[in-house]
Amino acid sequence: MSTGTITRAASRVREGQVVRYAFDERANHWINAISYSYCLFTGLALFTPYLYWLGAVLGGGGTIRFWHPWVGLVYMVSILWMQSKWKADMRPIPEDRKWRGNIQNYIENRDELVPPQGRFNAGQKLFWKVMFWCTLILLVTGIVMWFPERMPRNLHGVLPITVFIHAVTALVTIAAFIIHVYMSVWMTPGSMKAMIDGTVSTRWAGTHHRLWYEKVTGRKN
Amino acid sequence: MSNGTLEIKRISGHRGGTPGIGVSRDYEVCKLVDTTTCIGCKACEVACLEWNGYDFRETTFDNTYQTMPETAWNFWNLIKFNEYTSEEGTTQWLMRKDQCMHCDDPGCLVACPADGAIVQYTNGIVDFNQTNCIGCQYCVTGCPFNIPKFNSATKKVYKCTLCSDRVGAGLEPACIKSCPTGCLHFGSKEDMRLEADKRVEQLKTHTSWKNAGVYDPGGKNGSPGSINGTHVIYVLGDARDPEKYGGLPANPSIPFFVTMWKGPLKWLGGLGIAFGVLGVFMHRVRYGAKNVEGEENRS
């Protein structure tokens, strides 16, 4: 855990608050969120005629065809930066297994029964893993779809499977994305503030990420 | 290049039905290419360029008489040459006019996401409308005949229009008009099929082409991925192996993963997203939020 997290909240850290995300983490998260959302909406426009109007809203068919791959690269770089920054916190620990055993309690909001978790709980680690690997698949298939005209004719046979994998992988990320956005915006009050201002209350930290709270504050209560 | 005087049957990337469908009956047109009487003069290549207003582009010499390896964005009609050694050891010079086949169930149109970039007319012509093309090249992915070609300067895809502008005005396509041997025919699909069958019978009876046959792939079976027949058909001297006629595919079909992607996946994906959003909403309704003890919660 870098000590930089202590000093990089949006405003002065008040009594009873803990810094959860440093400025660079928050900024990168929002670059990631915006670039993902752009790729999501333009991708959906190209996926089904019923959502082609999204393309018109975002600049028109030719424009989204041009920008979707470039913004996808921004998203990719942002994901790699997250990987380097959060690798240590995303590593599996024994508490992950306990969390998975209590997933029912977690889903039904009996949080007092869920064992203490580190900076990220096992669910967040799973979300991260899904997004990271799907992004790599989207990148590889996306590059093929970006320049089909540069592809030798005898390799054109891979194009149909490539677009199919690109679509399926994107749908997997959309499933994860829906849950992620729901949990942050609506299901877990306080998490949106963590990603905007950078701080959470000590109670919030103690409830949702007790091991992390104890580690960064040295406190036991 | 789409033409307003023709009646539209299907539209790419279009939600809902096709306006005006079935208001009047129109017969399906067809081009018949008799490869046994083609002499490889390339008059059709020149006529195609002239009518469609393209300059003659650079050629590629690869020790054959073929103008270039494959059709290009501004070269829609190409005679393919193949020096083929037959089973009896004789050399046959096989020539085939390659161009868009105007499939009855076109893979390009099925794959295209752009509303109105590809239209199919009730007379069977499949036409690209570059105004609506976004340059994604999904049509390239969907085509079993390697026909749509991308222009990287305009970021649009082009191909043979079957001279929809001429046909719409009651004229035959430019290539047909230019053919000096009468190996190219144009008319209704029904007539051309009869003409082709008659020619095949004649070849079998009176010439050494004992394996002559008609190339009209897909049939009218409507199975998934079937292109359901084409609006360009060939009389082949040897129909057992169409591949030797400049790579004409023996069993062309819309690629399996294109039919999956544009078929079940589109619906499963859409339903999945809708139920996913509904699902998380219902979670909130059923279980509420993760309130932290002793804190006031706004949402």
Question: Please, what is the average pLDDT of chain B?
Answer: 91
Q: Which pTM was predicted?
A: 0.91
Please determine, for residue B296, whether its predicted confidence score (pLDDT) is greater than 80: no
For B263, name the nearest residue in chain A, comparing CA atoms only: A48
For A43, name the nearest residue in chain B, comparing CA atoms only: B113
Cα–Cα distance, B27 to B32 (Å, whole number): 16
B262 interfacial to chain A (CB closer than 8 Å):
no
For B151, name the nearest residue in chain A, comparing CA atoms only: A149
B116 interfacial to chain A (CB closer than 8 Å):
no
pLDDT computed for residue B3 by the predictor: 58
Half-sphere exposure of B268 (CA within 13 A, CB side): 10
Say which residues have a Cβ less than 8 Å from residue A113's Cβ, sequence separation at least 6. Answer: A102, A105
Assign A79 a pLDDT band (cuts: 50, 70, 90).
very high
pLDDT computed for residue A7 by the predictor: 53
Residues of chain B contacting residue A167, judged by C-beta atoms under 8 Å apart: 261, 265, 269
pLDDT computed for residue A3 by the predictor: 44
Q: From the CA of A204, how many Å to the nearest CA of chain B?
A: 6
User: Per the CB < 8 Å rule, is A109 touching B288?
Assistant: yes
A152 interfacial to chain B (CB closer than 8 Å):
no
Assign B87 a pLDDT band (cuts: 50, 70, 90).
confident
Cα–Cα distance, A42 to A65 (Å, whole number): 8
pLDDT computed for residue B23 by the predictor: 61
For B260, name the nearest residue in chain A, comparing CA atoms only: A164
* Cα B43 to chain centroid, rounded: 22
Q: What percent of chain A has pLDDT over 70?
A: 95
User: Per the CB < 8 Å rule, is A148 touching B291?
Assistant: no
Please determine, for residue A6, whether its predicted confidence score (pLDDT) is greater than 70: no
Q: From the CA of B138, how many Å to the nearest CA of chain A?
A: 8
Is pLDDT larger for residue B32 or for residue B19? B32
B296 interfacial to chain A (CB closer than 8 Å):
no
Kindly report the CATH number assigned to the domain that includes residue A163: 1.20.950.20
pLDDT computed for residue B159 by the predictor: 98
CA distances from A126 to A69, A92, A180, B24 (A): 26, 10, 11, 58
Please state the rounded mean pLDDT for residues B76-83.
96
CA distances from B194 to B100, B221, B295 (A): 21, 19, 84
pLDDT computed for residue A161 by the predictor: 97
A70 interfacial to chain B (CB closer than 8 Å):
no
For B293, name the nearest residue in chain A, comparing CA atoms only: A203
In SS3 terms, A191-211 reads as: HHHHHHCCEEEHHHHHHHCHH
Cα–Cα distance, A144 to A138 (Å, whole number): 10
Please determine, for residue A5, whether its predicted confidence score (pLDDT) is greater than 60: no
User: Per the CB < 8 Å rule, is A204 touching B273?
Assistant: no
In this structure, what token pair is assigned to residue A191?
């998490």
Q: Where are the beta strands (DSSP E) in chain A?
A: 17-19, 199-201
Q: What percent of chain A has pLDDT over 90?
A: 87
Cα–Cα distance, A167 to B63 (Å, whole number): 43
Say which residues have a Cβ less than 8 Å from residue A180's Cβ, sequence separation at least 6. Answer: A127
Question: Please, what is the average pLDDT of chain A?
Answer: 92
Q: From the CA of B78, how many Å to the nearest CA of chain A?
A: 17
State the best of B150, B261, B267 to mutate against chain A, taking most chain A CBs within 10 Å.
Answer: B261
CA distances from A61 to A52, A173, B266 (A): 8, 23, 19
User: Per the CB < 8 Å rule, is A163 touching B258?
Assistant: yes
State the best of B150, B290, B298 to mutate against chain A, taking most chain A CBs within 10 Å.
Answer: B290
Half-sphere exposure of A132 (CA within 13 A, CB side): 14
DSSP code, position B35: G
Q: From the CA of A143, how many Å to the nearest CA of chain B?
A: 12
Residue with tokens 């997933």: A103
Tell me which residues of chain A, numbers 49 to 68, contact chain B at a CB-CB cutoff of 8 Å: 49-50, 52, 55, 61-62, 64-66
Name the helix (H) or strand (E) containing B127: strand B126-128
User: Per the CB < 8 Å rule, is B261 touching A160?
Assistant: yes
Strands B184-188, A199-201: parallel, antiparallel or unpaired by DSSP?
Answer: unpaired
Please state the rounded mean pLDDT for residues A79-97.
95
In this structure, what token pair is assigned to residue A107?
């889903």
Task: Give the residue numbers spanning the domain of A75.
Answer: 3-217
Please state the rounded mean pLDDT for residues B88-95.
92
**Span B212-221, pLDDT tens digits:** 999 999 855 6
Please state the rounded mean pLDDT for residues B123-152.
96
Q: Which amino acid is at A172?
A: V
Residues of chain B contacting residue A186, judged by C-beta atoms under 8 Å apart: 280, 284, 289, 299
**Number of domain units in chain A:** 1
**Span A18-50, pLDDT tens digits:** 999 999 999 999 999 999 999 999 999 999 999
Q: At what angle do helices A94-101 and A122-146 cross, to 10 degrees?
A: 100
A27 interfacial to chain B (CB closer than 8 Å):
no
* Cα A92 to chain centroid, rounded: 17
Assign B299 a pLDDT band (cuts: 50, 70, 90).
very low
Q: What are phi and psi of B13, to 5 degrees?
A: 50, 30
B93 interfacial to chain A (CB closer than 8 Å):
no
User: Per the CB < 8 Å rule, is A46 touching B289?
Assistant: no
User: Per the CB < 8 Å rule, is A109 touching B287?
Assistant: yes
B288 interfacial to chain A (CB closer than 8 Å):
yes
Strands B29-34, B232-236: parallel, antiparallel or unpaired by DSSP?
Answer: parallel
User: Per the CB < 8 Å rule, is A178 touching B276?
Assistant: yes
Please state the rounded mean pLDDT for residues B37-60.
95
Tell me which residues of chain B, numbers 140 to 199, contact chain A at a CB-CB cutoff of 8 Å: 140-142, 146, 150, 152, 155
ipTM of the complex: 0.89
In this structure, what token pair is assigned to residue B158?
């082009």
Please determine, for residue B263, whether its predicted confidence score (pLDDT) is greater than 90: yes
**b/e per residue, B209-231, with b = 16+ CB within 10 A?**
beebbbbbbbeeeeeebbbbbbb
Residues of chain B contacting residue A59, judged by C-beta atoms under 8 Å apart: none
Half-sphere exposure of A158 (CA within 13 A, CB side): 14
Please, are residues B148 and B49 in contact by the beta-carbon 8 Å criterion? no
Q: From the CA of B8, how many Å to the nearest CA of chain A?
A: 18
**Span A99-144, pLDDT tens digits:** 999 999 999 999 989 999 999 999 999 999 999 999 999 999 999 9
Residues A112, A117, A123, A124, CA torsion sign: positive
Say which residues have a Cβ less than 8 Å from residue B33's Cβ, sequence separation at least 6. Answer: B96, B97, B183, B184, B232, B233, B234, B235
What radius of gyration, in Å, describes the C-alpha atoms of chain A? 20
Cα–Cα distance, B244 to B42 (Å, whole number): 19
Domains annotated for chain B, with CATH where assigned, are: 8-254 (3.30.70.20), 255-292 (1.20.5)
User: Per the CB < 8 Å rule, is B295 touching A187?
Assistant: no
Q: What percent of chain B has pLDDT over 90?
A: 81
pLDDT computed for residue A2 by the predictor: 44
pLDDT computed for residue A217 by the predictor: 87
